[in-house]
Every structure is written in structure tokens, then in C-alpha cells.
Structure 1
Amino acid sequence: MRLGLSSLAIIALMGAGSASAQNTTAAVAPIIDVHMHAMAEAPWATPVCPNQARFEASDPKNGPEAPFGWSSEECSPKLYPAPKGEYMKAVLAEMERLNVRGVVFGDVEAVKTWQAAAPARVIPGTAFGRVEGGDPANQLKMLEVAFTKEGFKVMGEIGLQYEGISPSDMRVDQYFALAEKLDIPVAIHMGTGGSGRANIAMPTYRGSMGNPLLLEELLARHPKLRVQVMHAGYPMIDNMLTLLQANSHVYVDIAGLIWSYPRKDVNRYIERLVDAGFGDRVLYGTDQLAWPGLMAYSIGLIQNADYLSPEQKRDILYNNAARFLRLEPAK
């Protein structure tokens, strides 16, 4: 059963414990969200309009400057943060209603909390922390324990771009060597960030460090490494396609960009990936941070994409991720 945005929105509004919601879940084709976060609260979050049409410039003379550049246009549906103390519960309820399994990233203990609450829905992921001022020996030990003894499945989110560091930097090579040795896929942030205001909110972030071609030396050193390029290297589509042409172990997720950039450009970017022949390497994701309704909304964008065939939609929403993560195919 394939659902459009309107049907998904109806499901999202159902009560978590209702018999109708449970029956509908059983009928909905399974989905994998490869990019979620094990947050407890998001006190910074406000209601947001997804796919806003523009980013606004700011003037340092008129400060203080807002950390996000999204315009303040109105929209329907608007996404609302979960009530205080209800975020995990609300997101897991959405996953149950929409038949979603998700790769949930965060520190080990936070992810374990999510996994304990919904073991059938949560695929655990964790990563090393900051490079500058970090403790490499302890981080390497933590990762080895997580992946060999605690059942973690993906190394991510690896946020080197926020420190202005290339993924091929030798300071982090030992972590990728461990992932290759243990046959663990890695999920690396590349591309989106800052919502038009990285210069204000994240002074060490560098757009240039999101260039997908910066992965080439890393991939050459670790030829068996499976890589998930988070945010699909947006907006550097030509370099992203060049990397995909040269490396068959690289996949891309469309999380974050699917809702935080203008819809026309988002669709054009995904269409370029598919039209270039890489429809079997595009992974659905949300970058779930604060708004439980984000999942139904972003699934709807794929379900309603007129440039995708039904088979391509199922590949993006489930089949590609199942192959990348080596899960059972959908029955």
C-alpha cells in the first residue's frame, strides 16, 4: 500500500494507542529513515515552515543577527516541536504509525534509551566527538566497545565539516580504519549547514569541507569502507555525481535538505541523482531533530514526487537502505 501526503497526514494525526492506527501500520509498506537523532529535548526549537522559499541576508550593523536565515513566511502544514518531555515518545509513535525503522545517532547512553523504548524500531549509531581538544584513544576504545559488544550498527553522525576538517584528514583516519576493519558503515555530514547563517552561528563550519570529492583519498585508503554521504553533498551535485561514478560503495541520504531548502530545488537535486543512474543509492532520511510531524511530511514529498516511479520511491524509502545496512529485504 503506497500512501500520498494526505493519507500520511491522516495517519500522523491518529492517536498512538488507537486500534485504527495499529491496523493501518500493519498495511503500510515499511520505511527506513537513515538519519535521526537521539535527542531528549530541543529547547531552541520553534514552529517551522518546511521548504521555505528563501534565505534572508543580514547586516552586521543591525545586530544581533538571527542564527537562522529562513524567511518568516506562513505555511500549512506548519511543523511544531513536541511538548516538553514528550519528544522521544512522540517520534516513536510516529515511527510505529508509519511503519518506520530508523538509524538513531547520538552518544551511546542516549541511543540506548531510545533503543530500550522501541527495540524493533531503532537501529543504533554513534560516532567520535570533536577532533580539536578530543581524546582519540578514549574515543577509539568507546567505538570499538559500541560496535563489537553493544550492538551498534553505524558510525555517525560524523560532523567534521563543523570543525572545518576534511574527512580525508589523517587525524581521523584511525576511526575510519576501525570501521573498515569491523565492516561498519560510516555516515558523514557533507553539504548543508547553517541555514544561510553559518557565519553567525557556526564560525568553524566550512562549506568547502562539504565537497564530496574530499572523500576520495579516504576511500582510496579504505577501499572496503561503506559511506553514507549525509545530506547528499547538497548543493554540490556535479561533484556528488563524480564521486558516485567513481565509487560503488558510496550512498547518499537526503535528510535535512528534504525539508530545509526550497521544494523545487530539493526535487531537482533528487531528480538529478536518479536521472544520472544512481536511484539505487539514494536513502530516505529526515535528520529528525525536534518536530515529530517531520517524518510524515518528508515521506509525503517522496510519495508525491511525479518524477519518480513507484519502484524508485520504494527503493528510496526502503530497499536501498536495507541493502546498505544489510537488513532483511521487505516481504
Structure 2
Amino acid sequence: MDNGSTPARYECAVDVGAVTAIDMHVHLEVDDHGHVAMPDDIMEASSKYFKAAERTPSIDRIAEIYRGQQMAAVVFTVDASTQMGREPNSIDDLVAGCARNNDVLIPFGSVDPRKGAEAITEARRQADRLGVRGFKFHPSVQGFDPSDEAFGPLWAELEQIGLPCIFHTGQNGMGAGLPGGRGIKLKYSNPLLLDEVAADHPNLPIIMAHPSVPWQDEANSIATHKANVYIDLSGWSPRYFPESLVRQSNNVLARKVLFGTDFPLITAEKWMKAFAELPLKDEVRPGILKDNAVRLLGLGVTAGGTA
């Protein structure tokens, strides 16, 4: 939130011709003050679920890793303060970190939809004052149904702002294995709830995060039907992607699918190794890895021509 000081404002300096890929899904789990937004038991459970080696790298460490791989990355946190009863990580810190690493990092903002008018005001601040390039939501962790009419004013504001919004869909690693899943409800991550949002707000770019298991056919259908809906491929090793997602990524969804890892839970090295083994057309791979993201994020021209 705004603390009265003048925050850093992000200006993108990613040279799209110089990077090989754009990772659309990277988490910053700790801010510059060492604060972790999620409770300890959830962090421990998700680390066990994903077998993550480096769970809370700093923003500068993330930049170092992606710079070394000649990749750019979309970085975000999640404001789940109402549901979790815990202060979120500082968006201002995240943006400042991305600003000093703007050759490889692209910041997305986050607001808690359950805060009503305050969330709308904060979304506008993050876009106008901080220069975030999109927003991240996790309906299950934040505890809300995105199709509920109560959140329509927020989606209308974000539609007017015109930046893409990433929504978690499908299975949840957060809370996995804990009693009652730590109160996290999977139903809020059904992609069909986003179909209503996409229909009512046709100028709001929506990215359905992850293969949406167990609702992959629904996600494929929505992304095919709605021009403003995309799918990122984070959260799963490509070797476990549903067959229908791989098949449609080769044709009707070729321009709607985006590379994403879920770093630090999954590394780009691990993801890319498995991705190379998928039965995808050679002409489809560059779009998934970079060109589709360049076009969606408005980053300009790819190495191969106009985005």
C-alpha cells in the first residue's frame, strides 16, 4: 500500500529480440523486509508438494537466475490478507525490484478482491503510479468466487485499465496435504467461473494459470471461445500435461498458450527439458515460449518480426 513516500515506477526495458522466452508465472514469496505473505504451514506444505529446492529467493536473485538463462519473467505476489489474516508482501518493493532489473523482470500487481472499493483504488494506484503490467489473482487462496456479481466493479475497473489478469485455475498446491486443505476451496479455481467474467468484460485479457486439472476440457473450450482468454502452462511439468491441452496447443490454441513455470516451485530448466519432449509442431513452439506473451504484454516486436 502507499506509505506516503514516492514509490519507484516501472518502465520495461526487456529486449524481446535478446531473450529466448518469457516466463509468465514467477512468484516472489518474500519482500525486501523479509516478510512472507503466506503462513508457515502453507509454505512448508507447498514446498513438500512441489519438492522445491529454493523456496524464497529474493527479487534480485530471481533476476540473476533469469538473466543467466536469457529469459524474461513476469513476477508477482498474491494479496490474500482477508482470507489468510496476514499482511501481504509489499507491491511497492516488488515493483522497485523489477525496476532495478527491468531488463529481465516484469511486475504484476495484486489486490484483495474482498476489500471492495479499497481494492479498486489500490488496483488503479498500482497501474498508474507503480506501472505494473498486469495483475495476479488466486481465487482459492484469496477465498472468493470470481463470477460473483460483488466483484463486477473490480473487473470493470481492470477492464478499463486494460492490463492482463492472471487467475489461478485447477488443482492447488497451496494447502495440499494439510487437514481440510487449510480451508482452501478448490471450487473457486474452476475455470468456468472465469467464463462469466470474460463474457461480461470482453476487453479484459484473462490468463487462466496452469493446466486446469481436473477441468482441462472446460479451460480449452473457454480459451477457444473467448478471444480475451489465454492459458499459461505453469505449475506442472510438461510431461504431465493433459493430452487435450497438448493437442489443442498444436492448432486452435497455438496463439493462446503461454510459457510459465511457477518458479521457484518449478525451475525453467526442468520445465524446458520436459517441454522439448512434447509432440508440438516446430512452428508452434516460438509462440508458446515468447511471441504470444510479447503480443499480450504489448512488448513490441519479436526477433522474427512483428508480434
Q: TM-score range by the shorter chain?
A: 0.7 to 0.9
Alignment gaps of 5+ in structure 2: 1-14, 37-43, 78-89
Deviation of 1:154 (Å): 0.3
1:187 match: 166
Task: Considering Cα pairs closer than 8 Å and 6+ residues apart, tell me whether 1 or 2 has the greater RCO.
Answer: 1
Deviation of 1:196 (Å): 8.5
Please say if residues 192 and 257 of structure 1, whose CA atoms lie closer than 8 Å, have aligned partners that are also in contact: no
Deviation of 1:71 (Å): 8.0
1:239-318 paired onto structure 2 within 5 Å: 239-258=218-237, 264-266=239-241, 268=243, 270-275=245-250, 277-289=252-264, 294-302=267-275, 304-318=276-290
Q: Could you say if the C-alpha distance between residues 267 and 238 of structure 1 is closer, same or farther in structure 2, counting changes exceeding 3 Å?
A: closer
Higher helix residue share: 1
Match of 1:124 among 91, 107, 125: 107
Q: Could you say if the C-alpha distance between residues 306 and 254 of structure 1 is closer, same or farther in structure 2, counting changes exceeding 3 Å?
A: closer
The one-letter code of the counterpart of 1:231 is H
Deviation of 1:252 (Å): 0.4
2:84 match: none
1:14 match: none
Match of 2:20 among 15, 22, 30: 30
The one-letter code of the counterpart of 1:218 is V
Please say if residues 211 and 242 of structure 2, whose CA atoms lie closer than 8 Å, have aligned partners that are also in contact: no
3-state SS of the aligned residue for 1:103?
strand
Deviation of 1:228 (Å): 0.4
The one-letter code of the counterpart of 2:241 is V
1:140 match: 120
Distance in 2 between residues matched to 1:143 and 1:89, nearest whole Å: 24
Alignment gaps of 5+ in structure 1: 1-24, 44-65, 73-77
| RMSD over aligned Cα atoms | 3.2
* TM-score of the pair, normalised by structure 1: 0.71
Aligned residues: 269
Deviation of 1:219 (Å): 1.8
1:21-170 paired onto structure 2 within 5 Å: 29-40=19-30, 67=45, 80-81=53-54, 87-106=58-77, 107-129=90-112, 131=114, 135-156=115-136, 158-170=137-149
1:233 match: 212
2:196 match: 217
The structure having more radius of gyration, on CA atoms, is 1
Please say if residues 207 and 231 of structure 2, whose CA atoms lie closer than 8 Å, have aligned partners that are also in contact: yes
Distance in 1 between residues matched to 2:186 and 2:259, nearest whole Å: 23
Deviation of 1:144 (Å): 0.5
Q: Could you say if the C-alpha distance between residues 229 and 26 of structure 1 is closer, same or farther in structure 2, counting changes exceeding 3 Å?
A: closer
Q: Could you say if the C-alpha distance between residues 287 and 101 of structure 1 is closer, same or farther in structure 2, counting changes exceeding 3 Å?
A: same
Please say if residues 110 and 123 of structure 2, whose CA atoms lie closer than 8 Å, have aligned partners that are also in contact: yes
3-state SS of the aligned residue for 2:195?
helix
Distance in 1 between residues matched to 2:269 and 2:60, nearest whole Å: 16
